[in-house]
Structure 1
Amino acid sequence: MAKFDLDTIRHSSAHLMAQAINRLYPDAHVQFGVGPVIDYGFYYDVDMDHKLTDEDLVKIEETMQQIIKEDLKIERKVMSRDEAVKFFADMGQTLKVELIKDIPATEEISCYQQGEFIDLCRGPHVESTKQLSTSFKLLNIAGAYWRGNEKNKMLQRIYAASFLDKKDLKKYLSDLEEAKKRDHRKLGKELELFHFEPMIAPGSPFFMPKGAFVYNELIEFMRRIYRKFGYSEVITPQVLDSELWHTSGHYAHYKENMYFSSIDEREYAVKPMNCPCHMLMFKHYKYSYRDLPLRYADFGRLHRYEKAGAVAGLTRVRTFCQDDAHIFIALDEIQGEIQSLMEMFFTCYEHFGFQGIKVNLSTRPEEKAGDDATWDKAENALKQALESSGYEYFVKEGDGAFYGPKIDVEIADALGRYFQLGTIQLDFQLPERFDLTFTNKEGADERPVVLHRALLGSLERFFGVYLEHVAGAFPFWLAPEQAIIVPVNNDIHLAYANELARTLNNKGLRVKVDDRNESMGYKTRQIQKAKVPYMIVIGDREMETNSVSLRGYGEKGSKTLTNDELFSLFAELDADKVPKKLRN
């Protein structure tokens, strides 16, 4: 039997699922959209009178297994454009007819048939249904606009996982269950960190006190890093005249994602990014080569319109803050600055416990500002800088910003999922558009180069990614509550517990006393559920010996520490506010 790669298996399995749906629901006027391969399996978009349920997925799976056993031969058929249009129109497959009409005239139109089922497809496919892996699982049903356009009809999308053997499928399904437990939207509600009001403020999170603490502490973390790497923080307006966005080029390239308002009969925009403001700030003063690199950091609130179907928890929102910065440098400073940035990025990501860090170089997109000569210069500068830095990198063709190429950094979380966080974008366009200059060593005006730089990226998105990475159990330095003290008997031990809490809080720690009239077992379960790093128990022995019984989150047992040992431990853990590599 011939062997086929996983993508071919998955693509053929999408047709297998479509055939099973056709068999099961012959009277539902089923139309098929697209059924591509995805990184863990495949999906297919269908339009049908019957609304699919989880019970239907079980039936579809069973029918797929039956079709595999039938060992149906899979044959490729080529049609002319007119033949294909008529063939699928006669079957009532209007979605396929639409796809055919968009196929370039120079491209061959092919279909694949297995038994009674035929589908439009480029291929390739396996030779027979018997060659398909039985290691698949239909996962869920979701809504999806036809061709991703919200003006089109909503279809039903069936997602499926597919692997070559059952071991890989079992691992994926296990990881999927773990991912559900770690879902930041679920944890955000359970841990009282944030929530959403979709009918009032879609795509806009409400951070509760605990969540607001973590959010602000992430900003303070970056401020501590900034002090080590020579950044200056600035504050810029949120609403600016649209003329600014015409000058920057964002109006032409980004208008549909911006919010506008009319003020005093002029059009204004709520800023979706900070860069044009920073260009104005640089232009307002006269700088020389001695002032460079000049690094502006900005935690200003940004607003971008995301389609309703695109917003998702904290990872895709309409209002957010970036740990955003713009670095104004001379052309010959690019390599040294990027090496410093890579050190900064890796130091911080490793401090948060991320592994598997990937570096990508994204080159010019089809829609871009500036000429090819300038882009050649920019891309070569980033390539040379990355090669000098010694970090392995991968090229992502056409994935750059409209104004310049960029370096994107991806991190793997605890489940091995990759997320793009940091970015370094090299920009020759905005300095030109804003006519920025500095005085060089020869006393002449020279155009600076700008590096757009974010490390955590959107704080909202980082919050969501990191919350899932740690499964809600923040490290000691970042936890909104670092320890909870539980007196065994309020009448006897409460006063001592309160005094210990005051001492710890005076040391800058975040500790409270649980004096509720509940059992010790109940309090212990609640503290563990809240994922507080430490529980401190005070009883007769602890009072007599100036000690505590300390239990860490997730630990079954407790250990006894003197008060001085406790203070030292907490001081050491809290010092992780700054990565060890950057401590003086």
Structure 2
Amino acid sequence: MPAQISVTVDGTEQTVDRGTTAGELFAGDRAVVVARVDGELRDLSHEVADGASVEPVTVDSPDGLDVLRHSCAHVLAQAVQQAFPEARLGIGPPVRDGFYYDFDVAEPFTPEDLKRLEKAMQRIINTGQTFRRRPVSDDEARAELAQEPYKLELIGLKGGGAEDAAEGASVEVGGAELTVYDNLDRTGAAVWGDLCRGPHLPDTRIIGNAFKLMRSAAAYWRGSEANPQLQRIYGTAWPSKAELTAYLERLAEAERRDHRRLGVELDLYSFPDELGSGLPVFHPKGGVLKREMEDYVRRRHIEEGFEYVGTPHISKEGLFHTSGHLPYYKDTMFPPMEQDGSAYYLKAMNCPMHNLIYRSRGRSYRELPLRLFEFGSVYRNEKSGVVHGLTRVRGMTMDDSHSYVTTEQAPDEIRHLLTFVLGLLKDFGLDDYYLELSTRGDSEKFIGSDEQWEEATEVLRQVAVESGLELVPDPGGAAFYGPKISVQARDAIGRTWQMSTVQLDFNQPERFGLEYQAADGSRQQPVMIHSAKFGSIERFVGVLVEHYAGAFPPWLAPVQVTCIPVAEPFEGHLQEVARQLRMQGIRVEVDTSDDRFPKKIRTAQRSKVPFMLIAGGEDTEAGAVSFRYRDGSQRNGVPVNDAVTEIVAAVRDRVQV
């Protein structure tokens, strides 16, 4: 056997000694924490084989961050079992911006526990423990983990289906073989171990002190309410203290913008317990915001060639069998109701009913594209743990549209829809976005032939590439009936929200027997394109509240102008100003409360009103107002006509103030 082998290191072919590890290939770069060997992430202790292709993975890359956070999760688990020896281990994967680990403990963790665990973690990190990967057989793993019932259950899930069986399970048993990672002290003795697929950092000191335990919460084992309730500790970890500080500042800003809190402060909406979780009500000011959005979106759809339709909230179950939603979507639908011997479902989507509208009479190719649109009320039986304010609800209003086109028309219609939705988002102040292409996975939840999926996916991919926007793949994320493009929009503080979707569907037209008469007289099947511009109006309201931190641009603001008299004698002057503004369609209030003048100013500022018009004696005599803006700047002695003109123009031109 030759003593040397040939490997490709970051694109360059090299000759190295047999037995060389991935870490030795990058020994001069301390930022490298793991390696990608022939496309798979490996520990730096991994011995490279002859002909291997090896690439460095740095701690600040997406994969490197996941490894950092996963290693930090292991340190957390070690600290928990030191402090609570009776604690049994669940699953501890990295997640976006952090990690979590689930534990079976006698009592929920307290904030004081988290502080104590942070200190214990720092002590472990400072000792410089190394992570050692050790393959084990199923029987060996069961023997070693005999006191860990949840790990024993995971052993039975080994393989590619682990993630489907339990969230995060793939980080432990997702590979073809089982491995245990031992934490070794500086003498090389194993001081703790965990079932894990890996990879991990070379040693704990790389974690440093840029980590924090954020909170704890209850979580059912494997996400099922039928299973035991565990305690989940959430944490975050970053390559540097500065990045951790920046992240915590972003969280603080996100908290200040939380739409649930702002909804109460601005009197926009609420979530009464009497109605049930995920069923919001909009107050008068929130109703104005919702109506403005709906009116604008409805008008824009009509301008883009859509025809407005309406459909009922419930349907016999047979409709959803025809569409394919039963059984594929059944878990997200509310249980059926019995009426006259038939089962009825609250609708969770509008497309089956739009198909019935299309099928209500014969169609000619001359009618295509046929574009149907409605604000349809739909209901989804979301689990209690995922319901969140307006951004995850059980009752919602979908801005739902469906285009029926010929196969040849499909690419142009998708371009039309993509241009339309990007323009709409920009109109509402969201102009930083990228595209995500969701395709079919290996699961049986997808219907239709391979050929149909390949054709639909390629059409979407080509249109997405032509847009010039960044395109991110999302394997397995498609709807059960077809692939989709989704627009991922970034808000004012850089968070990403999935907004508009465009989905190509060959399946429902076939299942509903939809046809049109072609130019040659033959009967052909149309292609159906689903599109939701905001997903749901409720969710989009929540996103906009957080994007603008409640300070909406004048055209969207529930109250656009507040008139504030310095004293009661000047109320009449401002009532006349308000009358002129209302005649121009401006939403205006006059503060005639008993509050003192300074408090009225503070109230208007807290309400984030775009414009305040103030009047005292000099203003009244001069037929003027003092014009105060939301940022605190002010112009005095502005003639009333000029003030009205400026406000009307700002609303008409969608000026940001």
Normalising by the smaller structure, the TM-score range is over 0.9
How much does 1:74 deviate?
Answer: 2.6
1:99 is matched with which residue? Answer: 154
Structure 1 window deviating more from structure 2 (421-430 vs 358-367): it is 358-367
Confirm whether residue 9 of structure 1 aligns to residue 68 of structure 2: yes
Mean CA deviation greater in 304-313 or 96-105: 96-105
Residue equivalent to 1:22: 81
Contact 2:130–2:203 (8 Å) recurs in 1? yes
Which secondary structure does the structure 2 equivalent of 1:476 belong to?
coil
**What residue in structure 1 maps to residue 16 of structure 2?**
none
Quick one: which amino acid aligns to residue 199 of structure 2? P
Could you report, residue by residue, the CA deviation over 1:520-575 in whole angstroms, capped at 9, with x for unpaired residues? 11111111111111111011221122221111223254454222222222222222
Give the C-alpha shift of residue 160 in structure 1.
1.0
Q: How many residues align?
A: 574
The answer to whether the 8 A contact 2:349-2:378 is kept is yes
1:157 to 232, 236, 256: 232
Measure how far apart 1:167 and its partner are.
0.8
User: Is 1:413 the counterpart of 2:457 in the alignment?
Assistant: no
Aligned amino acid, residue 512 of structure 2:
F
Partner residue in 1 for 2:293: 218
Q: Does 1:402 align with 2:484?
A: no
526, 543, 556: which one aligns with 1:478: 556
Where does residue 8 of structure 2 map in the other structure?
A: none
> 1:43 and 2:100 equivalent?
yes
- Counterpart of 2:318 in structure 1 is 243
Residue among 432, 439, 456 paired with 1:356: 432
Residue 440 of structure 1 corresponds to 518
| Aligned amino acid, residue 231 of structure 1 | F
Q: Pick the aligned partner of 1:535 from 608, 612, 624.
A: 612
Counterpart AA for 2:644? F
Q: 1:556 to 1:56 in 2, by over 3 A?
A: farther
Report the 3-state secondary structure (helix = DSSP H, G, I; strand = E; otherwise coil) of the residue aligned with 1:457. coil
Matched, 1:384 2:434: no
1:582 corresponds to: none
Contact 2:398 2:537 in 1 (8 A): yes
Q: CA deviation at 1:360?
A: 1.5
Contact 2:314 2:345 in 1 (8 A): yes
Quote how far apart the aligned CAs of 1:341 are. 1.4
Q: Does 1:300 align with 2:376?
A: yes
Trace 1:445-484 onto structure 2 (pairs within 5 A): 445-484=523-562
Consecutive unaligned residues of structure 1, counting only runs of 5 or more, are 580-584
For 1:121-160, list aligned pairs within 5 A.
121-160=196-235
Match of 1:66 in 2: 123
Residue from 171, 174, 177 that aligns with 1:108: 177
1:459 CA drift (Å)? 0.9
TM-score, normalising length from structure 2? Answer: 0.85
Q: 1:578 to 1:369 in 2, by over 3 A?
A: farther
Partner residue, 2:37 = none
1:104-149 CA distances to partner (integer Å, 9 max, x unpaired)? Answer: 3982211112252211111111232223221111111122111111
2:373–2:399: 8 Å Cα contact kept in structure 1?
yes
Structure 1 Cα separation of the partners of residues 593 and 554 of structure 2: 24
How has the CA–CA distance of structure 1 residues 498 and 88 changed in structure 2, closer, same or farther, with 3 Å as cutoff?
same
SS in 2 for 1:493: helix
Verify: 1:309 aligned to 2:394, yes or no.
Answer: no
- CA-CA distance at 1:450 after TM superposition: 0.8
TM-score, L = length of structure 1: 0.95
Q: Is the 8 A contact 1:400 1:406 kept in 2?
A: yes
Structure 2 CA distance for aligned equivalents of residues 53 and 391 of structure 1: 46
| In structure 2, distance between residues paired with 1:578 and 1:284 | 45
Name the CA distance, whole Å, in 1 between partners of 2:398 and 2:228.
35
What code does the residue aligned with 1:124 have?
P
Give runs of ≥4 in structure 1 deviating > 3 Å: 387-392, 556-560, 576-579
Q: Give the conservation status (yes or no) of the 8 Å contact 2:179–2:195.
A: yes
Greater share of helix: 1
Aligned to 1:496: 573
Residues 559, 13 of structure 1: alpha-carbon distance in 2 compared, 3 angstrom cutoff: farther
**Partner SS, residue 142 of structure 1:** strand
- Aligned 8 A contact 1:335 1:388 in 2: no
Q: Is this contact kept in 2: 1:41–1:161, CA < 8 A?
A: yes
Asked if the contact 1:322–1:454 (Cα under 8 Å) also holds between the matched residues in 2, the reply is yes
The offset of 1:25, in angstroms, is 2.1
Is 1:373 matched up with 2:458?
no
- RMSD over aligned Cα atoms: 1.8
Output the amino acid matched with 2:72: S
Hey, what's the Cα distance between the residues in 1 that align with 2:636 and 2:101? Answer: 55
Corresponding residue number in structure 1 for 2:418: 342
- One-letter code aligned to 1:178: E
Query: 1:210, 1:480 within 8 Å by CA — same for their partners in 2?
Result: yes
| Aligned with 2:91 (options 25, 34, 43) | 34
Q: Give the letter aligned to residue 135 of structure 2.
A: V
Question: Secondary structure of the residue that 2:447 maps to in structure 1?
Answer: coil
Measured in 2, the distance between the counterparts of 1:122 and 1:383 equals: 33
Letter of the structure 2 residue corresponding to residue 214 of structure 1: L
SS at match of 2:531: strand
Partner SS state of residue 300, structure 1: strand
**CA offsets 1:251-279 (integer angstroms, 9 cap, x no match):** 12112222211111111111111101110
Q: What is the CA-CA distance between 1:484 and the residue it aligns to?
A: 0.6
- Structure-1 separation of matches of 2:642 and 2:582: 16
578 and 266 in structure 1: CA distance in 2 versus 1, 3 angstrom threshold: farther
| Whole-angstrom distance in 2 between the partners of 1:401 and 1:559 | 57
> Which deviates more, 233-242 or 549-558?
549-558
Structure 1 Cα separation of the partners of residues 288 and 117 of structure 2: 47
Establish whether residue 196 from structure 1 lines up as the match of residue 271 from structure 2. yes
Partner in structure 1 of residue 17 of structure 2: none
2:114 to 57, 62, 67: 57
* CA contact 1:221–1:578 (8 Å) conserved in 2: no
Cα deviation digits, residues 162-181 of structure 1 (max 9, x gap): 11111111100001011111
Structure with the bigger RCO (C-alpha within 8 Å, sep 6+) is: 1
Aligned to 1:422, what secondary structure does the other structure show? Answer: strand
* Equivalent residue for 2:351, pick from 255, 275, 279: 275
Mapped to 2, the partners of 1:56 and 1:240 lie a distance apart of: 51
Separation in 2 of the partners of 1:478 and 1:224?
A: 15
CA distance in structure 2 between the partners assigned to 1:75 and 1:50 by the alignment: 32
What is the rounded CA distance, in whole Å, between the counterparts of 1:421 and 1:281 in structure 2?
26
CA distance in 1, matches of 2:552, 2:472: 32
**Equivalent position amino acid for 2:155 in 1:** I
